[in-house]
Amino acid sequence: MDMMTHALELASAAAQAGEVPVGAVITDSYGAIVATAQNRMRRDNNALAHAELLVINAALQVTGQSRLVDCDLWVTLEPCAMCAGAISHVRLRRLYFAAYDQKGGAVDHGPCLFHQPTTHHKIEIYGGIQQSASEQLLTIFFGNQRGVVES
C-alpha cells in the first residue's frame, strides 16, 4: 500500500473517533514505516495533539535520534505553522501532503514557512497527493460537526 493511502486510513480512523481526520506516516530512506499517528486533540484534550507533531515525536523515540534527517513525512492535510516549524526542526527530507488548507496551512498558504528568507531548512515538498480523498474525509467530518470545528 502506498503511504498516503495508509495516512488516509489513519485519518479515517481519527474521524470515526470524533477527531478532525488527519493521519500521518513517517518513512525512512528505504521507504519503510518508522511511525504513524492520527489527530488526538479530543482524546488527549490537548490542542497541540496534531498528527504531525505526534508522528514526529513517535519517530524520534523509535529511532533514538534527535532529528529525522533522511526521513519523509506523509500527511493528509497541509501542515499548520506549529507542525511546519517542527518539520523544520527535525530536518525531514521530504514532505508529502494531500489536501491544501487555505485557512490554517503554513506551507503553501499563510506564512509559507519554507519560503521565508529566515528558513534554514531545505525540504522537498509535494502537495495535492490524493487531495480529493482527504478533502472528502474533511468535508464529511465538518459537515457532521458543524459548530464544533477545531482550528
Catalytic residues, which ones?
52
What are φ and ψ of residue 12, in 5° steps? -65, -40
Which grid coordinates belong to 96? 508529502
DSSP 31: S
- Applying CB under 8 A, among 24, 98, 106, 129 the residue interacting with a second copy is 106
- Least CB distance from residue 130 to a second copy, whole Å? 24
Under the criterion CB under 8 A, does residue 95 sit at the interface with a second copy? no
Residues 6+ apart with CB under 8 A from 8: 23, 76, 98, 130, 133, 134, 137
By CB under 8 A, the residues from 107 to 136 that bind a second copy are: 109-113, 116-120
Q: Are strands 124-126 and 94-99 parallel, antiparallel or unpaired?
A: parallel
Of the pair 103, 139, the CB lying nearest a second copy is at: 103
Of the pair 4, 106, the CB lying nearest a second copy is at: 106
- Least CB distance from residue 2 to a second copy, whole Å? 27
Strand order in the sheet with 33-38: 33-38, 23-27, 72-77, 94-99, 124-126
Of the pair 31, 45, the CB lying nearest a second copy is at: 45
Q: Which residues bind a second copy (CB under 8 A)?
A: 41-42, 45-48, 53, 56-57, 60, 64-67, 80-86, 88-91, 102-104, 106, 109-113, 116-120, 151
